Amino acid sequence: MQIFKFGGASVKDAKGVKNLASVLKTTGYDKTLIVVSAMGKTTNAIETVIKSYLENKSELQSAIHEVIKFHNEILLDLFDNERHQVFSDVKAFFDELTLFFKTNKSPDYNYVYDQTIGFGEMISTIIIGHYLNDIGLKNNWLDVRHFIKTDNYYRRANVNWERTQELIASNFDSSKLNITQGFLGSDANNFTTSLGREGSDYTAAIFAYCLNANSVTIWKDVSGVLNADPRYFENAQLLHQISYTEAIELAFYGASVIHPKTLQPLQQKEIPLYVKSFLNPEANGTCVSKGKTLDPEIPCFIVKKNQILISLSSLDFSYIVEENISEIFSLLHLYKMKVDVIQNSAISFSVCVDNIYDNLEKLLQHLKAKFKVTSHNNVSLYTVRHYTDSAIKELEKDKTVLLKQLTQGTVQIVTK
């Protein structure tokens, strides 16, 4: 059993869907599960739909129409007959999306987000499933929400592993070519949940763990795991083989190629993870597996943009000790802040966070009741694994350094 995951960039248009089929023909597709993301920038487009619904309903229909138009263009490029069942299936999903906005009573953004954001995945997989069937790659379309069960922590749901294992074991036919959605699950009441942005990789790992798969392959528009994001760094190098431990470290610090949660279930069962290019499927790419990293420990650069650096100090110059730190972390948890860097001294405490849930102002007001607070918005967090002096020097050039922290093997620098 092998698991393939295709991201949005790989199926951004009809040409991408045809290339997905070509990859399957090249690599083989017996006993294969394909996990697919929304097409292109559909997730961003549906986020615009959600924003229109909550903030400016006069723009809602126009925003939905843009999503429909994008998918209709792909449909017309892939299917000659407009009476093909796929057109009805796609329309049914858009009708369901529209009906939700007409009937929903909840003002909770996170709930609304999870009930609607996954339509991109549902539509992409129904289109691809029909196309593969038409060209002779017979497949079984699965609704992932019937297999992956979670709690109701909307937008970052936690997997109920026991229930998920039961459902996959009893309902999944591993003898066929199957296709399903990434990123999604459902809670005990069958409301849709999401596993977090870029969670499709995690979906592939969940199925791999439950099915004892031979491997997971993530198909990307890059040659494999690189030592830096080529959008931000020049001369990025391919890492041919890395260990689970090193990959988890890179993912933890924000490397975008592999989702942070993906590696944990794979490591537990020693299932190898391959990251390959869908443009060159026969190339080796990167293998993440048990054992030592075979590549030399070259510096690996990771950047996270649009972070917030919060610096606290006591109002009376007293020490910031365990009691204060405990309270600070309770507030960070309360306001759902993702913490990326921590640094403290006797009378100060700094933390770099990702304001995913837009709770920054509430957090700052709460902190100001007990601390002197300063914050810097839109900062960049750079992390370098296996750093060298020259790598740090090059990174700091022409930047204002707000925070710098070195540990064995890793340096983190916050810049403005």
Residue at 256 is within a domain: no
| CATH number of the domain residue 208 falls in | 3.40.1160.10
Average pLDDT, the chain: 95
Is 283 within a domain? no
Largest interatomic CA distance in the chain:
75
Are 97 and 189 part of one and the same domain? Answer: yes
296 pLDDT band, cuts 50/70/90, is low
Cα distance between residue 297 and residue 319, in whole Å: 39
Per the document, the length of the chain is 416
Domain stops at, among 203, 220, 237: 220
More confident residue, 227 or 258: 227
146 found inside a domain:
yes
pTM of the prediction? 0.85
Please tell me the distance from the alpha carbon of residue 355 to that of residue 84, in angstroms, as a whole number: 44
67 within a domain of the structure (yes/no) = yes
385 is in an annotated binding site: no
| Alpha-carbon torsion (353, 359, 364, 366), positive or negative | negative
Considering the domain architecture, whether residues 213 and 125 belong to the same structural domain is answered as yes
What is the number of structural domains in the chain?
A: 2
In a domain? residue 320: yes
Domain end: 162, 187, 220, which one?
220
18 in a structural domain? yes
Q: Which domain holds residue 61?
A: 2-220
Whether residue 320 is found in the same domain as residue 203 = no
Q: What is the pLDDT of residues 134-185, one digit of tens each?
A: 999 999 999 999 999 999 999 999 999 999 999 999 999 999 999 999 999 9
Q: Same domain for 305 and 216?
A: no
Residue 269 lies in a domain: no
* Average confidence (pLDDT) over 56-61: 97
More confident residue, 197 or 245: 245
- Is 248 within the bounds of a domain? no
